[in-house]
Structure 1
Amino acid sequence: MSAHWVALLTDVASDSSLPTDSAGIAVWALQYTNRVAQVDQAVLLEVEQSLRLFGGEDVLRGLIEDGAGELGVSSLAWAPTSLAALAFARVGIPDGFAEPLPKLLDRLPFETLEAVAKHGATLARLGCKTLADVRRLPRGGISRRFDSELLLAMDQAYGLRPESYRWATLPETFSARLELPGRVDNAVGLMFGARRLLVQMSGWLAARHCGVTAFTLEWCHDTMRSKDAGDGGELIIRTAQATQNVEHLSRLLSENLAKVTLKAPAGDLVLSATEVTPIVEESRSLIPDDRATGEAIDLVLERIEARLGKGRVLRPVLTEDHRLEFMHRWQPANEKRPPAKAKQVPGPQPTWMLRTPLRLDVSNDQPLYQGPLQLLLGPERIEGGWWHRVKDSNGQRNLVTVRDYWVALSPFAGALWIFQQRLPDDAKASWYLHGLFA
């Protein structure tokens, strides 16, 4: 299975005046994926399942790289495996997808993998300089001479063995501390460090699908202060509505800090989310939501039908029928009908149902679909339809159903929902494919 890993090095800062915090970055990264781990002074993210959610790889890359830059991370890399991404980040290769993975890794110094670097002196005496040199060594000799971690790390980096980590968890509350690089004498100067804490808080809020309505910024006075100055001060900021927007929160905090006078130079900052409220996501449906417009859905459908024409807007209606294909029907949106409940078929229900059942070939009384089918569960007999009459070119006819349904297994197509049509004259019954299970 393909994977997209991102490695954020936390021991290299874009601005050396502010230290990076791997735990804080891990919490911030949880807004993009729940597969976040802290390894070797780095934060690793597996974002394969998040690419579509955030609008594609390019959009997600931009979001992560912009946020990581604000948090002080300057070395970042993408790759198909986590250890490869970490190795690329250490040597400044941002894109591990530019060339085949083995070709890129083979050129790297073996020190880029922590488990290999531990044996650097011995490997150097063997003439190894790159990961390609280590790969050329006999595996049997490596396993006897070195610990098992070396071969494991090499195989994981090259995608030959699976990777597993202890994933970071999202804390129930947010409170982050930042040590300032020097003494800050005025309150406006605190924004330089407070901005980073706000970015962390915004990531935590996004991961919890919440917004903040009040947060507190505390500052601790430097130890070289007068006794009258106290230990520090705090500023409580409230918002009119719940928000995660960093720019908005930064402007509010900046405006309020401009009115504050520090009693002594500050050395540390602490930002806490004191009041948090869940944010109700806006509907992205093409049809307006009642909550957003205050207009009932029936009224909206009436307007759409007036524009498109009578009978052009349909809605599904449940019907009481044992036959799966007749458990619902489409009716004009303005047609009123008392609600009905669909009858449940005793057996398992397929995820997808064919509009028209597909007749299957049979060999030695065994149904075939991309090979012989193995009958797993059944039969479940469904009978009904004597009351259901339709008119066609041959006059009226009944849609009587007498079927024995089975769950069958195909070696190539997976679990299938098939049935055998029971015939009244004891003729050989035909087999049909009616649905597929996910």
Structure 2
Amino acid sequence: MLWVALILPPSPTDDPKAPAVVSPDAQRGLAMWCLQFTPRVARMEDAVVMEVAASLRLFRGRAALQARLADEAPDLGVCSIGWASTATAALILARCGIKGVGDRLLQAVLDPLPLGTLSAAAVHAPALSRAGVRTLGQLRQLPRGGISRRFGAGVLAALDQAYGLRPEVHGWEALPEDFHARLELPSREDRAPALLMSARPLLMQLCGWLAARHAGATGITLHWVHDSMRARDIGDHGQLTVRTAEPIRELEHFCRLLAEHLAKTALLAPVGELRLEAVGVQALTEDSASLLPDEVRTGETLYLTLERIAARLGPERVMQPALADDHRLEWMTRWQPSDPATHQRKSRPRPCAAPQTPEPTFLLDAPLRLAVRDHRPQYQGMLTLLIGPDRVEGGWWDRLPDDTPGHRNVLRDYWVAVNANAGVLAIFQERLADGEGAWYLHGIYA
């Protein structure tokens, strides 16, 4: 698991003796923005935490996601970000200004940190410091029975959760059906163009909400509330609606449109609060990530394009793969002309059952013989065998082309193998009459 904690600063108060608390609106808005990255988002003390291990590939890896959060989250008021294998540890690291654990063990990173970073232990920090206990590591070394009796079981529970010794329980943030966001301005504003800077966090929340719903909006409505100290003939609020030609969820496009409209708007009185609503929310059709898109740039489908190319170059020049009734990996797929008339003249391969083991995405043109050490195959390091053996045998009937003597008979045991450098591979071992055969690399899984 991989947790991210995003800490918000406390809201300013007029009473210096009042406890510092985070604005509920700011925390709710940050949680809504985080839902675009993962559905596992929760509010925790003065922060929002989210579990992103399953989302890293979608956002191009951990480094790319870290860079994006570091770039965008400060616009929503985030003052510190921490990464760790538990939510409590991520919150502790964020409070200390430590970005992540890196290659170190979690225990080695948390042990030197002060007690005040763990909320359950912070309330007892004065008493513990008088006993010489000032760090989380020193607290862990105390007898657990004594800690529970003097300071309560909650301290031990929070400590175990930080170190990953006890499961954490979170109330996941629910995605609302409609979007409504509110922001109280830090100071009264009497110029409409200046409202764009305060409206940008609301637009970020909107784009995060739309991304989580896989939708777009055809417009937005920005409401503002006038200050109570205004003329009697001026209403208590105003609004501005911005429309788009098609459903979108791009932040910068919303900002540019809103800036153009605010530049032509005059405020009747100073403004102290903003509210944002989405208009015309519609589901968006996501673009296919296939290597062969369903529609090409001309607007026609891929099959119509192939038919036009086949008519221009000849039906035998455009080929398409077809599944063949063959259990040998090299010949499971056969290439045939894509012209429909040619398909009718040629015999089609019979349908075959799905394989029992996963098939590799990419095949080598010719299997690569692997080095063997201590009876184990090597490829960019020692390979670990995961699944297998899957025996493939046959091909005595498949003669070589062009009257070449011989046939394509194979006798192999296939395995799914893996190591940290090469990834997941499809390898096989030839079973020969004179004993154990050689190992070969045949395919690579995507």
TM-score class, shorter-chain normalisation, is 0.7 to 0.9
**Larger displacement relative to structure 2 (235-244 or 162-171):** 162-171
- Paired AA for residue 272 in structure 1: E
Amino acid paired to 2:9: D
1:151 aligns with 2:149: no
Aligned with residue 250 of structure 2, among 238, 245, 251 = 245
1:256 shift after superposition: 0.9
Letter of the structure 2 residue corresponding to residue 52 of structure 1: R
* Paired AA for residue 35 in structure 1: R
Quick one: structure 1 residues 301 and 13, their matched pair in 2 at CA, closer, same or farther if it must change by over 3 Å? farther
Describe the SS at the equivalent of 2:140. helix
1:5 and 2:3 are equivalent in the alignment? yes
2:74 is aligned to: 69
Distance in 2 between residues matched to 1:204 and 1:87, nearest whole Å? 28
Q: CA deviation at 1:90?
A: 1.2
Contact conserved, 1:214 with 1:275, CA < 8 A, in 2? yes
1:195 equivalent in structure 2: 200
Candidates 44, 49, 55, aligned match of 1:50 = 55
Cα distance in 2, alignment partners of residues 344 and 318 from structure 1: 8
Structure 1 partner of 2:422: none
Mapped to 1, the partners of 2:279 and 2:101 lie a distance apart of 41
2:42 touches 2:48 (CA, 8 Å); kept in 1? yes
- Aligned mate of 1:83, from 80, 88, 96: 88
Shift of 1:287: 3.0
Secondary structure of 1:86's counterpart equals helix
> 1:27 matched to which residue of 2?
32
Which residue pairs with 1:180 in the alignment? 185
Deviations 1:258-314, CA, capped at 9 Å, x for gaps:
222222111110000021122222233333432643234235446888999986864
| Structure 1 length-normalised TM | 0.72
**Are the structure 2 counterparts of residues 114 and 308 from structure 1 closer, same or farther at C-alpha, using a change threshold of 3 Å?**
farther
Change (3 A) 1:181 1:87: same
SS at match of 1:227: coil
Q: Residues of 2 paired with 1:303 and 1:144: CA distance?
A: 81
Question: Distance between the aligned counterparts of 2:309 and 2:137, measured in 1?
Answer: 65
- Aligned to 1:211, the other structure's residue is in SS state strand
Aligned CA RMSD, in angstroms, stands at: 4.8
- 1:110/1:62 CA distance change after superposition, 3 Å: same
Query: Aligned to 1:263, what secondary structure does the other structure show?
Result: coil
Instruction: Report how far residue 94 of structure 1 moved.
Output: 2.2
In structure 1, distance between residues paired with 2:169 and 2:310 = 54
Task: Tell me the distance in 1 between the aligned counterparts of 2:3 and 2:299.
Answer: 44
1:337 Cα shift? 2.9
Q: CA deviation at 1:39?
A: 0.4
For 1:85 and 1:26, how far apart are their aligned partners in 2? 16
Deviation at 1:29, TM superposition (A): 0.6
Equivalent residue for 1:37? 42
Q: How many residues align?
A: 392
Q: Distance in 1 between matches of 2:81 and 2:128?
A: 28
1:337 aligned residue = 343
Say whether the 8 Å CA contact 1:26–1:37 is kept in structure 2.
yes
Given the alignment of the two structures, is residue 275 of structure 1 paired with residue 280 of structure 2, yes or no?
Answer: yes
Q: Counterparts of 1:127 and 1:306 in 2: how far apart (Å)?
A: 86
CA contact (8 A) 2:337 2:343 kept: no
C-alpha spacing 1:328/1:237, structure 2 compared with 1 (3 Å): same
**CA–CA separation in structure 2 for the residues paired with 1:171 and 1:340:** 51
What is the deviation of 1:168? 0.9
Q: Which residue of 2 aligns with 1:427?
A: none
**Which of 206, 210, 227 is the equivalent residue of 2:211?**
206
C-alpha contact 1:76 1:94 (8 A) present in aligned 2: yes
After TM superposition, the score normalised by the length of structure 2 is 0.71
Percent identity, aligned pairs only, is 47
Measured in 1, the distance between the counterparts of 2:157 and 2:77 equals 31
Matches of 2:164 and 2:7, distance apart in 1: 21
**1:12–1:73 contact (8 Å) kept in structure 2:** no
In 2, Cα distance between equivalents of 1:37 and 1:75: 17
Q: Secondary structure at the match of 1:236?
A: strand
Q: How does 1:283-294 map to 2 (within 5 A)?
A: 283-290=288-295, 292-294=297-299
Name the CA shift for 1:135/1:313 in 2 (closer, same or farther; >3 Å). farther
The match for 1:109 is 114
Determine the C-alpha separation between the residues in 1 that align with 2:355 and 2:292.
Answer: 33
The separation in 1 between residues aligned to 2:406 and 2:51, in whole angstroms, is: 60
Match in the other structure for 2:145: 140
Q: Which of 259, 268, 274 is the aligned partner of 2:264?
A: 259
Contact kept, 8 Å, 1:87 with 1:112, in 2: the verdict is yes
The residue number in structure 2 matching 1:428 is: none
User: Residue 189 of structure 1 aligns to a residue in which SS?
Assistant: helix
Counterpart position of 2:105: 100
Counting only pairs closer than 5 Å after superposition, residues 417-432 of structure 1 correspond to structure 2 as none
Alpha-carbon distance, 1:43 to partner: 0.3
Asked if 1:222 is matched to 2:227, the reply is: yes
Shift in Å, 1:232:
0.7
Aligned equivalents of 2:64 and 2:72: distance in 1? Answer: 13
One-letter code of the match for 2:244?
Answer: T
Aligned-partner residue type, residue 141 of structure 1: G
Amino acid at match of 2:62: E
Cα distance, 1:146–1:312 mapped onto 2, change above 3 Å = farther
Q: Which amino acid aligns with 2:73?
A: A
Partner of 1:21, secondary structure, is: helix
Q: Shift in Å at residue 351 of structure 1? A: 4.1
Deviations 1:137-168 (A, max 9, x none): 12333344443322222222122333331211
Where does the alignment leave 5 or more consecutive residues of structure 1 unmatched?
357-369, 374-384, 400-438
